[in-house]
Structure 1
Amino acid sequence: MPRVSGTKRSILDAALELASLNGITGTTMEDVAVRAGVAKGSVYYNFSSKDKLFEQLLLDGIGALAETLRQSRDGKTGGQALASMVTAMLELISGNQPLAKLIAAEIFRTDRSWQTHLQTVRREALAEIVTVIRETHPERPDAELMAGTIFGAVLVGGIEWLAFSPERSVEEVSESVLFTLSGRLTA
């Protein structure tokens, strides 16, 4: 995915910052322009509507997540691959908590114009986790559901960590998430 720079990047960054404070509904294009330090016309030149702006922001974020999962899995299989993916996702969340919050808030909404595109990119990210599950447990017919559960647990667990226990290391949080997912809590 090509990197966005310049005015477009400033607009996306401003929109993300404002959405993390006010939500998407509470963020106006004028607010984005002011925060980005550009004319309102520049915002509309780069993004024809607020929906297009936030769609781009979410698609870029989940696309980056899919690439992070793909790279972290490279050359690994089974539990080692899953542990690497969980840690990489937590590092990504740590590096951009506002985006993680936005994704968590929007991923399950069905009333947004961008939902179809967002679900397509989400499936791409989950496919990386599904691959690991199917390598280890090809008999499981529910690999997609399991991948979604892992994705959700890491996303929400990562936000929980940064909001309430930021003193913990990525490794500690990764180990906690993996232990929770291991089934040993109910054994």
Structure 2
Amino acid sequence: MARVTGTKRSILDAAVELASLNGITGTTMEDVAVRAGVAKGSVYYNFSSKDKLFEQLLLDGVGTLAETLREARGTKTGTPALRSMVDAILELVASNQPMAKLIAAEIFRTDRSWQSPLQLVRREALAEFVAVIQHAHPDRPDAELMAGTVFGAVLVGGIEWLVFSPDRSLQEVSDSVMFMLSGNLTA
């Protein structure tokens, strides 16, 4: 994935910060311009509309997530693959809380203009979990649903950790998530 730099990067960074504070609806292109330190015309030059700005932002964020999950899984299978991907998501959440909040808020919305392209990239990210699940249980017809459930639990668990339990280490949170996923939670 090509890295965005310069003015465009400043605009995207400002947009994610503002959206994590005010939501997308509460964020204006003028607010983004002020936060990015650029003229409002520069925002519109780079992104023809607010929808295009947030579409690009979310596609970049979920695309980075998919790439990170691919790298984390590598050639691993089973529990080592799952642990590696859980840790990778938690590290991403910790390193970019505003983006994690934005993805958590938008990934399940169906009323946004960017939902269709976002779902394609989401499916790419979930494919890494699907591969692990199908390797362990090739006859499961619901691997994609299970992958979405794991992804959602780890993403929201990561945000929960950073907002309400920031004193816990990544290792503690990862261990808790893995315990939950092991099926021992109610045993």
| Bucket of the pairwise TM-score, normalised by the shorter protein | over 0.9
CA deviation vs aligned residue, 1:57-96 (integer Å, no higher than 9, x gap)? 0000000000000000012111110010000110001000
Kindly indicate whether residue 54 of structure 2 is the aligned counterpart of residue 54 of structure 1.
yes
TM-score (norm 1): 0.99
Amino acid in the other structure paired with 2:69:
L
Could you tell me how far apart the structure 1 residues matched to 2:49 and 2:28 are?
Answer: 10
TM-score (norm 2): 0.99
Report the equivalent of 1:40.
40
Q: 3-state DSSP class of the match of 2:4? A: coil
Q: Shift in Å at residue 39 of structure 1?
A: 0.5
Report the equivalent of 1:31.
31
Q: Which consecutive unaligned segments of at least 5 residues does structure 1 have?
A: none
Could you tell me how far apart the structure 1 residues matched to 2:58 and 2:178 are?
Answer: 26
CA deviation vs aligned residue, 1:35-72 (integer Å, no higher than 9, x gap)? 10000000000000000000000000000000000000
Q: 3-state DSSP class of the match of 1:113? A: coil
Report the equivalent of 1:17.
17
Could you tell me how far apart the structure 2 residues matched to 1:79 and 1:185 are?
Answer: 16
Kindly indicate whether residue 121 of structure 2 is the aligned counterpart of residue 121 of structure 1.
yes
Report the equivalent of 1:80.
80
Could you tell me how far apart the structure 1 residues matched to 2:109 and 2:58 are?
Answer: 13
Paired residues for 1:151-170 under 5 Å: 151-170=151-170
Paired residues for 1:148-187 under 5 Å: 148-187=148-187
Report the equivalent of 2:64.
64
Show structure 1 runs of 4+ deviating over 3 A. Answer: none
Amino acid in the other structure paired with 1:87:
D
Q: Which consecutive unaligned segments of at least 5 residues does structure 2 have?
A: none
- Over aligned residue pairs, what C-alpha RMSD do you find? 0.6
CA deviation vs aligned residue, 1:130-183 (integer Å, no higher than 9, x gap)? 001111111111100110000000000000000011111111101101111111
Q: 3-state DSSP class of the match of 1:150? A: helix
- Percent pairwise identity: 81
Could you tell me how far apart the structure 2 residues matched to 1:51 and 1:9 are?
Answer: 17
Equivalences, count: 187
Could you tell me how far apart the structure 1 residues matched to 2:106 and 2:84 are?
Answer: 25
Q: Shift in Å at residue 26 of structure 1?
A: 0.5
